[in-house]
């Protein structure tokens, strides 16, 4: 019989119960026991949802109080020295200290680093490895959760992050190859497997997501060694799970490992099915990921069933499991509670709970008991989505189809444009500016909430925003910022704000997805062709410009970032959707120019995170991503100056593409890693202007004038003074005015002092 399986369920809870409990615990408002109770209730609820949906292979240990990689770090006792661990069982307080740092009394220990999980917007805690790192079984979470489910009468398949991926995802010191630690690590995994077996487990899911990445010979060897050992360590049947891409050149390796089963992602990489079926040894089960764990669209049941049938034909039904493409961690929990979405749109969607039902329907059909009515209804939903006039707008499609290379080019090269811009703007060298937002203080958030609830009228809310914007403009004049911004007080979120003004977007009430720790995001849904019914930002930018003689910088979110931070429609290539957005932003740029806003920033902080997992796929992505930005920023006069901004981005390896954006000015996060950024510019002469952030806005610290001068001096070692802008490294919306005011005053003073020094040197 074909089995219905799941790989992981969202852990935070439909109403973000876990988030609320965690944050209350951190604030000292609830006890550890309360927090643990909430977690226990959520686990029970989620196991029961899966059981009730008819899922036969239900995961455990997919829950986490923060992150599954940190769970693994603590399971194997890889605690960095700075936490002063006593070597005993690791408790939640130590666990949280590693995630969030610890600051009390005389202790001040920084948190472990965090980074993106493959190409998702989920962030994991990065393991830290040194040559002398030792491992020791130190947290019995996996066993406890297995037993907890068992006590509820639910037999589960525990999930572990695999040892090789665990090592590969870490960071190392002193040129260590993390895989050198494998021999020391494996005994702990063997012990865990034995403990799970002793507790009654029969199977285990071991996630080895790195099998879809480019692997060197060492890594391939490590996989063989690891699974030779682990398969012999216990009687547990091991399924190795891969996701987010195709196995490609690692297929033979993955299929050949001495384990009981392999999971493959047939949503991201449907084309790999034939190869997988051909290479899978005769004793092995295949788990086919045919329901998208990363997106919110209904599964095409007929299509999914055809994939499953192919597997059944080749392997026989006892060797096939139906599963989501990856853990459902990346999906919102339950569509049923979305009472604000209209029925037509809702009928095209499936969240985690609905995806489980789909898995069951597909498995049943493969077993000869097809629910004809459900399949009919599913087909009807797909037909309506295929033809709905809400989705398909021929004017938009024609406009994208008609794009030419010229649409993605400014009229003249940078050296011509910059002359016109200098003449129009008349700025000093080392001009000062900020990244866009000013502190979103309590009163602003309250006013927005009241406006949303209808307690504040449109007029009242606008008057409030006008007052705030006016204040910001006056203050920037006073402290002498050369290119002021309006402050973005009217915006909640840099993607949501635009999504709400564009056609083709929808918003959920409760569609939360964990981003990191207790933080969740609620991505907009891009369901249809994107167009811009009317200007989106001209009003506040113009209002700001009326308050000052200085050139105000208009602020837009770029097409790649809007795409990247949304749930994107799956019925056309991402490139096409991105180009549609880029045309909407282009129209906005043109309207701003018409309204005499002559400096316009198009933020693209998410450009780098869209990079494909395999290097050989990068060029194709970068081509359309860069083109999309350029479509947004072209067709305007030479004298109109385009800025862009990027943050959280190690951009050394894509610096050619960043230059290819051909923005007149780029501002970039560098203050925390000044040296690293500047390294890139030693070998690569950045052609346009650039503002290497001179202070870290992620910290409440107020940097001194002197500190910023030092950073600027460093920047001027590799960049020319005509080329450099002076700005913080990101928007200031998460900061308070107490820090922001003095910090920006110091920043302007630093710019002025550096200008004077440069003049002096010139004169001498």
Q: Which residues are catalytic?
A: 698
Nearest to 261 by CA among 242, 290, 280, 240: 240
By a kind-dependent CB cut-off of 5 to 8 A, residue 555 interacts, out of ligand GLN, Zn ion, none, with ligand GLN
Interacting residue with Zn ion among 39, 159, 730, 732 (CB under 5 A):
730
Task: Give the shortest CB-521-to-ligand GLN separation in angstroms.
Answer: 13
For Zn ion, how many residues bind (rule: CB under 5 A)? 3
Which helix (H) or strand (E) element contains residue 642? strand 641-646
165 contact partners, CB below 8 Å, separation of at least 6: 207, 208, 209, 210, 211
Task: Give the shortest CB-606-to-ligand GLN separation in angstroms.
Answer: 8
CA 259 to chain centre: 32
- Closest residue to Zn ion: CB criterion: 647
Touching Zn ion, residues 311-340 (CB under 5 A): none
Task: Give the shortest CB-551-to-ligand GLN separation in angstroms.
Answer: 17
Task: Give the shortest CB-647-to-ligand GLN separation in angstroms.
Answer: 5
State the virtual CA torsion across 232, 235, 236, 238 in degrees, nearest 10.
40
Where do runs of H (alpha helix) occur along 719-736? none
Q: Name which of 300 and 696 has its Cβ closer to Zn ion.
A: 696
- Cα–Cα distance between 472 and 715 in angstroms, integer? 29
| CB contact at 8 A, 641 and 600 | yes
- Cα–Cα distance between 291 and 310 in angstroms, integer? 16
Residue with structure tokens 């406006």? Answer: 451
Q: Name which of 55 and 562 has its Cβ closer to ligand GLN.
A: 562
690 contact partners, CB below 8 Å, separation of at least 6: 665, 666, 667, 668, 719, 723, 724, 725
- Cα–Cα distance between 448 and 489 in angstroms, integer? 9
By a kind-dependent CB cut-off of 5 to 8 A, residue 215 interacts, out of Zn ion, ligand GLN, none, with none
Instruction: Give the C-alpha distances (Å, rounded to integers) separating 164 from 72, 128, 221.
Output: 12, 14, 10
Touching Zn ion, residues 641-660 (CB under 5 A): 647
Q: Name which of 4 and 666 has its Cβ closer to Zn ion.
A: 666
356 belongs to the binding site for Zn ion (CB under 5 A): no
Q: Name which of 606 and 712 has its Cβ closer to Zn ion.
A: 606
253 belongs to the binding site for Zn ion (CB under 5 A): no
- Cα–Cα distance between 31 and 238 in angstroms, integer? 37
| CB contact at 8 A, 565 and 121 | yes
Task: Give the shortest CB-555-to-ligand GLN separation in angstroms.
Answer: 5
**Interface contacts to ligand GLN, rule CB under 6 A:** 435-437, 488, 494, 555, 603, 605, 645, 647, 730-731, 733
- Cα–Cα distance between 596 and 588 in angstroms, integer? 12
483 belongs to the binding site for Zn ion (CB under 5 A): no
- Cα–Cα distance between 704 and 741 in angstroms, integer? 12
Q: Name which of 393 and 515 has its Cβ closer to ligand GLN.
A: 515
Task: Give the shortest CB-22-to-ligand GLN separation in angstroms.
Answer: 24
Task: Give the shortest CB-693-to-Zn ion separation in angstroms.
Answer: 8
| CB contact at 8 A, 123 and 117 | yes
By a kind-dependent CB cut-off of 5 to 8 A, residue 262 interacts, out of Zn ion, ligand GLN, none, with none
| CB contact at 8 A, 561 and 606 | yes
Sign of CA dihedral 616, 621, 623, 629: negative
Residue with structure tokens 């493969």? Answer: 366
Task: Give the shortest CB-501-to-Zn ion separation in angstroms.
Answer: 21
Q: Name which of 430 and 607 has its Cβ closer to Zn ion.
A: 607
Task: Give the shortest CB-314-to-Zn ion separation in angstroms.
Answer: 49
Strand order in the sheet with 553-557: 553-557, 599-603, 641-646, 665-668, 689-692
Look at residue 565 and give its three-state secondary structure: coil
Where do runs of H (alpha helix) occur along 128-176? 141-151, 163-168
699 contact partners, CB below 8 Å, separation of at least 6: none
By a kind-dependent CB cut-off of 5 to 8 A, residue 448 interacts, out of Zn ion, ligand GLN, none, with none
Q: Name which of 288 and 606 has its Cβ closer to Zn ion.
A: 606
Give the pair of three-digit tokens for residue 519.
Answer: 């933080």
Q: Name which of 76 and 748 has its Cβ closer to ligand GLN.
A: 748
- Closest residue to ligand GLN: CB criterion: 731
Q: Name which of 414 and 648 has its Cβ closer to Zn ion.
A: 648
By a kind-dependent CB cut-off of 5 to 8 A, residue 494 interacts, out of ligand GLN, Zn ion, none, with ligand GLN
- Cα–Cα distance between 125 and 643 in angstroms, integer? 33
CA 43 to chain centre: 25
By a kind-dependent CB cut-off of 5 to 8 A, residue 532 interacts, out of Zn ion, ligand GLN, none, with none
Task: Give the shortest CB-434-to-ligand GLN separation in angstroms.
Answer: 7
By a kind-dependent CB cut-off of 5 to 8 A, residue 733 interacts, out of ligand GLN, Zn ion, none, with ligand GLN
Touching Zn ion, residues 579-618 (CB under 5 A): 605
By a kind-dependent CB cut-off of 5 to 8 A, residue 436 interacts, out of Zn ion, ligand GLN, none, with ligand GLN
- Cα–Cα distance between 19 and 34 in angstroms, integer? 13
Q: Name which of 592 and 730 has its Cβ closer to ligand GLN.
A: 730
| CB contact at 8 A, 103 and 97 | no
Sort strands 123-125 and 156-161 into parallel, antiparallel or unpaired. unpaired
- Terminal-to-terminal C-alpha distance of the chain: 86
Task: Give the shortest CB-646-to-ligand GLN separation in angstroms.
Answer: 7
Give the pair of three-digit tokens for residue 751.
Answer: 């710019």
Q: Name which of 364 and 603 has its Cβ closer to Zn ion.
A: 603
Residues engaged in binding Zn ion (CB under 5 A): 605, 647, 730
């Amino acid at each position: 019989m074909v089995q219905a399986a799941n790989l992981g369920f969202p852990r935070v809870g439909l109403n973000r119960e876990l988030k609320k409990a965690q944050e209350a615990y951190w604030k000292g408002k609830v006890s550890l026991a309360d927090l643990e109770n909430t977690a226990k209730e959520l686990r029970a609820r989620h196991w029961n949802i899966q059981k009730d949906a008819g899922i036969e292979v239900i995961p455990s240990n997919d829950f986490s109080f923060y992150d599954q990689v940190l769970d693994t770090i603590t399971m194997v006792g890889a605690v960095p020295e700075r936490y002063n661990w006593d070597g005993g069982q690791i408790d939640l307080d130590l666990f949280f200290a590693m995630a969030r740092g610890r600051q009390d009394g005389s202790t001040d220990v920084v948190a472990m680093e965090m980074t993106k999980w493959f190409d998702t917007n989920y962030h994991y805690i990065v393991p830290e490895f040194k040559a002398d790192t030792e491992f020791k079984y130190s947290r019995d979470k996996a066993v406890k959760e297995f037993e907890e489910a068992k006590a509820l009468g639910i037999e589960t398949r525990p999930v572990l992050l695999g040892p090789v991926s665990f090592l590969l995802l870490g960071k190392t010191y002193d040129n260590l190859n993390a895989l050198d630690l494998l021999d020391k690590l494996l005994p702990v995994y063997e012990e865990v497997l034995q403990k799970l077996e002793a507790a009654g487990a029969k199977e285990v899911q071991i996630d080895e997501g790195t099998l879809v990445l480019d692997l060197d010979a060492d890594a391939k060897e490590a996989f063989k060694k690891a699974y030779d050992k682990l398969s012999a360590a216990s009687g547990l049947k091991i399924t190795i799970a891969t996701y987010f891409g195709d196995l490609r050149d690692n297929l033979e390796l993955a299929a050949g490992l001495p384990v009981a089963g392999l999971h493959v992602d047939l949503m991201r990489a449907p084309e790999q099915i034939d190869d997988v079926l051909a290479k899978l040894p005769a004793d092995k089960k295949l788990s086919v990921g045919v329901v998208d764990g990363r997106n919110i669209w209904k599964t095409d049941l007929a299509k999914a069933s055809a994939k499953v049938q192919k597997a059944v034909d080749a392997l026989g039904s006892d060797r096939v499991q139906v599963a989501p493409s990856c853990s459902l961690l990346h999906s919102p929990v339950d569509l049923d509670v979305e009472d604000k979405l209209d029925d037509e749109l809702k009928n095209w969607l499936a969240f985690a709970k609905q995806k489980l039902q789909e898995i069951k329907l597909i498995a049943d059909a493969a077993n000869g008991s097809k629910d004809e009515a459900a399949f009919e209804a599913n087909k009807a939903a797909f037909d309506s989505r295929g033809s709905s006039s809400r989705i398909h707008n021929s004017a938009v499609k024609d406009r994208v189809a008609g794009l030419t290379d010229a649409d993605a080019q400014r009229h003249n090269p940078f050296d011509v444009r910059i002359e016109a811009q200098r003449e129009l703007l008349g700025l000093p060298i080392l001009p000062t500016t900020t990244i866009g937002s000013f502190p979103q203080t309590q009163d602003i958030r309250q006013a927005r909430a009241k406006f949303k609830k209808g307690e504040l009228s449109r007029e009242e809310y606008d008057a409030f925003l006008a007052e705030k914007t006016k204040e910001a403009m006056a203050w920037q004049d006073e402290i002498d910022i050369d290119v002021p911004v309006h402050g973005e007080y009217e915006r909640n979120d840099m993607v949501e704000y635009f999504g709400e003004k564009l056609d083709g977007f929808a918003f959920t009430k409760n569609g939360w997805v964990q981003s990191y720790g207790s933080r969740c995001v609620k991505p907009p849904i891009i369901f249809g062709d994107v167009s811009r019914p009317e200007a989106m930002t001209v009003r506040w930018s113009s209002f700001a410009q009326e308050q000052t003689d200085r050139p105000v910088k208009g602020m837009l979110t770029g097409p790649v970032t809007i795409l990247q931070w949304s749930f994107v429609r799956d019925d056309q290539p991402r490139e096409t959707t991105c180009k549609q957005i880029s045309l909407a932003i282009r129209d906005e740029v043109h309207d701003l120019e018409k309204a005499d806003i002559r400096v316009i920033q198009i933020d693209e902080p998410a450009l780098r995170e869209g990079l494909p997992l395999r290097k050989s796929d990068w060029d194709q992505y970068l081509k359309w991503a860069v083109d999309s930005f350029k479509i947004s920023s072209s067709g305007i006069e030479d004298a109109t100056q385009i800025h862009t901004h990027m943050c959280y981005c190690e951009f050394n390896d894509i610096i050619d593409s960043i230059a290819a954006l051909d923005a007149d000015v780029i501002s970039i996060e560098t203050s925390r890693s000044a040296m690293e950024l500047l390294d890139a510019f030693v070998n690569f002469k950045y052609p346009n202007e650039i503002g290497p952030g001179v202070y870290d806005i992620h910290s409440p610290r107020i940097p001194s004038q002197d500190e910023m001068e030092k950073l600027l001096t460093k920047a001027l070692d590799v960049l020319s003074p005509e080329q450099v802008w002076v700005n913080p490294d990101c928007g200031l919306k998460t900061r308070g005015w107490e820090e922001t005011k003095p910090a920006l005053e110091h920043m302007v003073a630093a710019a002025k002092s550096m200008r004077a020094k440069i003049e002096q040197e010139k004169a001498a």
